[in-house]
Amino acid sequence: MRKRTKITFIISGICVGIIIGLVVAARFDFPGHPIGALDTAYDISGASFEHSVEAVARAVGPAVVSISTERTEKKLVPRMRRYNFGGPFEDDFFRKFFEDFFGELPERKYKQSGLGSGVLIDKQGYILTNEHVVGEADKITVTLPDAREFKAEVKGKDKRSDLAVIKIQGADFPAAKLGDSDSLSIGQWVVAIGNPFGFALHNPEPTVTSGVVSALHRSLGRITSGDRDYGDLIQTDAAINPGNSGGPLVNLKGEVVGINVAIFSTSGGYQGIGFAVPINSAKRIVSNLIEGKKIVYGWLGVTVQGLDEKLADYFGLPEKKGVLVAKVLADSPAQKSGIKEGDVLLKLDNLEINNVNALLKIVGNIEAGRKVRLELIRDKKPITLNAEIGARPENLEELDESGLEEEPSDYWRGLRVTEITPELAKRFGVSKQEGVIVVELKPESEADEAGLIQGDVILEINKNYIDSVSTYKNTIKELSGDVLVRTARGFFVLKEPPVK
């Protein structure tokens, strides 16, 4: 009996000890598992928000690095600045004389520095970052949060997606886990980690900011760079400051869901709007980047525009879904498949094309050579076409065509056009010289109400090609009712003038 009592007492003591231990652990917030082991994502959604952000910072922070770059640029040093004679000696003859006398102008090297962030995605030292952080660098230095420094080399980069992979030598580095950006929802909490001003503050430890996913599939178009396509971004109000570029956007499971790429502000500082490249876009190309392969995007060869209510009504569509083909490029997959200007694309291989960004994303993700099925509307009737996706060309610029000068037209539905002269092309920034250009526009006219502006280039009217003012005048003679006008910016519907 005494022996049984003793055993019971021991067991009770052990149980009490376990309970006390759990209470103490909870009180002092000891983690129940090694949070720093970055190979596994942690579901900490049940914890308080404060503890969740703290846990994410501890889990992913060790994998976030600072990136310092140097680029050397050579520029000519003008010798004439040493000989400021003034007056009549400052002309081309004397400038040429001194250049010939002293020989060729010397070159001076200028060093440009840059700062950014990155995230380790592999224990072997592969780091994912933005292309604009490392793309033009001659020297790249990576600093880990524990202050270790490494020289890095670029393994692969892709300017269009603004993504790059660099590598540091070593092994057993902390590595973050990549999540699924397609599962993100608006309002979901996210954490931005990076090293803004890290080198200026002489502190290699990353900073952490939190916020929500403000919007998905945002487009910055080609505002920041003509070569980069920011057409499918995550928008967040988590503070992203200069130097955060290339750092990860992380969900509360500790998974990387985006790569911070840009801020949008009037002052260059943080104003509550930041953007990140979805991690699924990176996952699609990261293996090719590591191998140094060129990233090839699918290409259809059309210029498209979204539908507004007037265009949807004109084409007999019940809603503003689909994209309108404004131009079919010569010898493109679209032309070979039979797509025509004025067609409305609705689906590609049963994937809905709700807007321009959707089409760009769908086509861009398709490998060149794959055959697809297109569903579209032509002349208000549904048809299907088969197309073979091509590889996006390096240069899509086309040759300009010059037209013959003619007198401006008379007003028609509130607009007046003329031939595109070199002077007008320069004035309005027109690169193409086909069609006719709008030089005058009456306020509150049919053309003004449709959205046409001065400088628009008219290419077609009711699918009749316009190559001169003469063709334009002949085309509009017999027109009545609503008219579809195709410009270099897209399609517009000009309403029939009211009877007076």
**CATH 2.40.10.120 holds for 31-73+110-295:** yes
Pick the CATH number of 298-391 from 3.30.160.100, 2.30.42.10, 3.40.50.2300, 3.65.10.10: 2.30.42.10
Q: Which of 52, 132, 181, 332 is catalytic?
A: 132
Least confident of 83-92, 255-264, 453-462: 83-92
Q: Which of 68, 210, 245, 281 is catalytic?
A: 245
Q: Which of 162, 232, 343, 456 is catalytic?
A: 162
Residue 217 bears catalytic tag: no
Buried b (16+ CB within 10 A) or exposed e, 189-217: bbbbbbbbebbeeeebbbbbbbbebbebe
Q: Report the topology of domain 415-494.
A: Pdz3 Domain (2.30.42)
* pLDDT for res 105: 53
Domain with CATH 2.30.42.10 in the chain: 298-391, 415-494
Contact of 346 with 377, CB cutoff 8 Å: yes
User: pLDDT tens, 98-128?
Assistant: 555 555 555 666 677 788 999 999 999 999 9
Q: Which of 33-37, 82-86, 101-105, 442-446 has the highest mean pLDDT?
A: 442-446
Residue 138 bears catalytic tag: no
Least confident of 149-163, 297-311, 395-409, 484-498: 395-409
Domain with CATH 2.40.10.120 in the chain: 31-73+110-295
* pLDDT for res 80: 45
pLDDT grade, residue 36 (50/70/90)? very low
- Give the integer Cα–Cα distance in Å for 276 and 262: 7
Least confident of 189-193, 248-252, 266-270: 266-270
User: pLDDT tens, 15-26?
Assistant: 544 444 433 333
**Mean pLDDT value of segment 272-297:** 91
* pLDDT for res 24: 37
Burial class (CB in 10 A: 0-12, 13-18, 19+), 495: middle
Residue 33 bears catalytic tag: no
